[in-house]
A = this chain, B = another copy of it.
Amino acid sequence: MPAKTNPSDLVRRVRKGEHAAASRALSIVVDDGKDSEALAKEFFKASGSVQKIGVSGPPGVGKSTLTGRLVGHFRSKKLKVGVLMVDPSSSISGGAFLGDRLRIMEHATDPGVFIRSLASRGMIGGLTYAIFGAIHVLESLGCDKILIETVGTGQDEVEIASVADTVLYVTTPSMGDEIQAMKAGAMEIGDLFVVNKADLAGKDKAIADLKAALGLGHSAGQAVKAWEPPVLATSAKDGDGVPELAAGLEGHWDHLKKSGEGRARLKRQHATELQFWIQRRVIKSALERVTDKNLEELVARKTDPASLGRRLLK
């Protein structure tokens, strides 16, 4: 049994940069443990000034290896880096993924890198609230850049767009038709695009296809010059293109700060965090009131979810 922890003491230790304290705080905030709300409050106050980079894209494109390379790059610039790895499913597949994440895990003993894996399954109120809580802890810990890597195709991508300041969408020269189609949805959320595994054949075509899909070259007539998502090439395996990618990420961060878009995104992030806080809190208390008898009434069609829900909310 762990020793009793004073919340403000824990916050103080996180701010001093203690990884063990951050680890503890993260567990409490993510699992909604005792003092979770008091902690979350403190961490929220100190947050909102660090770039959160979401790394998204279909399975198998090398997101983890690329994330690991970015960590290495940021470390070479003496930046402290936080990494959140989001596993969409169970602890079982979480384990299985670990092999793919060797490139990240080699940084695990670096005191300038804090890595945490989040499993979404079974979280009331979804993954999103937990990610926000985790991000705020990482900021308090002193991270200069926060990387959030997700594995997902649709729903997850949408979620990452609501927590990250900058969304990096990773693809490769060779993707199946269905995955190609998914890119269409991703277009809307990507701020930078990377064709990874650029050592494979078809790199130039992939870049050209992406640019065409993004409608680049068609924006000359627009009066206001918005952000044009760059399409870059990397080979995460040997690190080619990583400095250019890091420069692109920094360029987007500058754009966010100068254009006011960063503040607008922060506001949207807060709106989402608020929504998920409400969701988690309300569902929890409503579900605590559901009895087996209630469910039996549903099975017997003596009531329906809306009528029962209304009763439980009273």
Shortest distance from the beta carbon of A7 to any chain B beta carbon, whole Å: 13
Complex CA distance for A238 and B290, rounded to whole angstroms: 48
Binding site secondary structure of chain A: helix
Shortest distance from the beta carbon of A282 to any chain B beta carbon, whole Å: 4
Complex CA distance for A184 and B91, rounded to whole angstroms: 9
* A188 close to B (CB within 8 Å): yes
* A121 close to B (CB within 8 Å): yes
Chain A interface category by residue count: 35 or more
Interface segment among A73-81, A202-210, A262-270: the answer is A262-270
Question: Which of A93, A180, A184, A313 has the most C-beta atoms of chain B within 10 angstroms of its own C-beta?
Answer: A93
Known A58-B59, A295-B270, A309-B281; judge A44-B156 contact (CB<8 A).
Answer: no
Residues facing B in A89-121 (CB within 8 A) are 89-90, 92-93, 95-97, 99-100, 120-121
Bitwise, A287-303 to B at CB < 8 A (1) or not (0) is 10010001110110100
* A274 close to B (CB within 8 Å): yes
Shortest distance from the beta carbon of A67 to any chain B beta carbon, whole Å: 14
Complex CA distance for A183 and B155, rounded to whole angstroms: 18
Bitwise, A180-207 to B at CB < 8 A (1) or not (0) is 1111111110000000000000000000
Contact of A151 among B59, B178, B287 (CB under 8 A): B178
Which residues of the partner chain B approach A296 to less than 8 Å between Cβ atoms? 267
Bitwise, A60-77 to B at CB < 8 A (1) or not (0) is 100000000000000000
Across the A-B interface, the 3 shortest Cβ-Cβ residue pairs: A88-B154, A89-B185, A93-B185
